[in-house]
Structure 1
């Protein structure tokens, strides 16, 4: 699948470079936010961009610390990324959009919609961070993210492509036929960066407090006023469906779409299904 129609956009935040991407010329604007770990905008969203750009103007970008964007000398957190997103919206002259985010991007999207509701026409979190106040095995998670083992794990994973493929199959994509050699190569290349994992580690260290998460999105989520569609993989080990159902109960009029058999990278595993559901929700 070619990138040749995707326009590159240079963005910035506090003098840090952000690599942006745009496709389509529709009247409505969709903004897509990728996840944490070793993700990037085009790895998570390229197929979706190509599917939706026939009707909508679609933007995505590499969060600071990811992909081709700069690694900032800053503590990375939900509030940091919300402020960064607000700056980007201004640079792109986007007055209002449909906002969808995966995992870390889902937490940013929900937080942004709570702070700037007038900017969001509709909200679509996918396997979103922040739908529980405490992680499963929270004390163990707190120890892990603050230990040297956290970064070492990325180095170990990047040693060979077999490990990369196994990690994708274990956590991210349920249908192994969707784990292409090209996808494995892309993730493997990201893992070769000396900064691989550092942005997400900074985020985890800030957001995982000793007893609960620092930015408690779940406690505020009932304040969302725009139409909300929660999308989740049926077999997502990182964000189990029960947490999404509980979050949806707190948001008046919200909808849920569970993608059967999918894991955490649901929109990557079945982009056609994601695009069809989103089109229906927008219309």
Structure 2
């Protein structure tokens, strides 16, 4: 695994690289306590057997710097600008972009903003596909209180609460909830300002009446092949919304049976197999068209 820091207008962005080859796949993680190595640690070595893989610690996560005053209407625009600066400094001309949850919304936004750079797009259990959340007004109230900080402090002291949080929304297979993962998340919950990045994301993503961004009307503008990957038991992103999104842009869709919101973490072998088979089929179709 190779690591490096890229300087952007939002500070230093940390990234991890593995593998070689003509195909590059960039992976974006989700919000909360997430980071490149938390969501993609199991995926990277498997995918690196086939291609060049880059996993990014988004600003405010992992080993990347935290920008000041990050929440607000410019939240997604600032993220996309930082990602574009990373791409430019890495001299990436074309690559596959995959993103999980918040990272999925960023991936869609990036593909819309810079379509010539993206050869294929893979939103995974992606945010950005609904107009509002269930119990939307409650969640809007909740994220604008101090209760999130309190809940993180509680989880930092309780194995039970961490396990409950994982099994209720992230992993469908309870056997995948290892003691190592529980202790890792407990430690992250106890870190100073642990809730800050999640608060920035949620406060920037929920108005009183709607979810932000809402890409549903723009998905038909995507110019590249798209594969949606979805845990079919995901309680945070409705599978029905993902099916509608896939149909609206003639995208491929793979449902990971029994998985919840952290589908690549839950079954990395299946995720990599499906992803690489799909990427390979695109390359084969392109070669056939040229011939």
TM-score normalised by length of structure 2: 0.92
Helix, strand or coil at the partner of 1:171: helix
Partner of 2:263: 266
Deviation digits for residues 220-257 of structure 1, max 9, x if unmatched? 12211100000000100000210101111211x30110
Unaligned 5+ segments in structure 2 are 281-291
Counterpart position of 1:70? 65
Deviations 1:162-221 (A, max 9, x none): 321221111100001111122222222221211212112112112211111232222212
Measured in 2, the distance between the counterparts of 1:96 and 1:74 equals 32
Contact 2:152–2:190 at 8 Å: present in 1 too? no
**What is residue 16 of structure 1 aligned with on the other side?**
11
User: CA–CA distance in 2 between the matches of 1:27 and 1:203?
Assistant: 34
Structure 2 counterpart of 1:3: none
Q: Is the 8 A contact 1:67 1:190 kept in 2?
A: no
SS at structure 1 position matched to 2:68: coil
Alignment of 1:123-272 (within 5 A): 123-251=121-249, 253-272=250-269
Deviates more, 1:270-279 or 1:89-98: 89-98
Q: Check conservation: 1:113, 1:120, Cα contact below 8 A.
A: yes
Q: In the alignment, which of 43, 46, 64 is matched to residue 48 of structure 1? A: 43
Q: Please say if residues 10 and 82 of structure 2, whose CA atoms lie closer than 8 Å, have aligned partners that are also in contact.
A: no
- Identify the range of structure 1 (44-53 vs 65-74) with the bigger mean alpha-carbon deviation: 65-74
Q: d(CA) in 1 for partners of 2:186 and 2:31?
A: 15
How many Å separate the matches in 2 of 1:262 and 1:167?
Answer: 15
Q: How does 1:26-37 map to 2 (within 5 A)?
A: 26-37=21-32
- Counterpart position of 1:96: 94
Q: C-alpha offsets along residues 131-177 of structure 1, whole Å, 9 cap, x if unaligned?
A: 10111111111111111112222222222233212211111000011
Distance in 1 (CA, whole Å) between partners of 2:179 and 2:88 is 38
Instruction: Tell me how far apart the structure 2 counterparts of residues 163 and 140 of structure 1 sit (CA, whole Å).
Output: 21
Counterpart of 2:81 (choices 72, 80, 83) is: 83
Question: 1:195 and 1:20 mapped to 2: Cα distance?
Answer: 22
Query: In structure 2, the residue corresponding to 1:30 is in which secondary structure?
Result: strand
Structure 1 contact 39–187 (Cα < 8 Å) conserved = no
Q: Name segments (4+ residues, structure 1) moved above 6 Å.
A: none
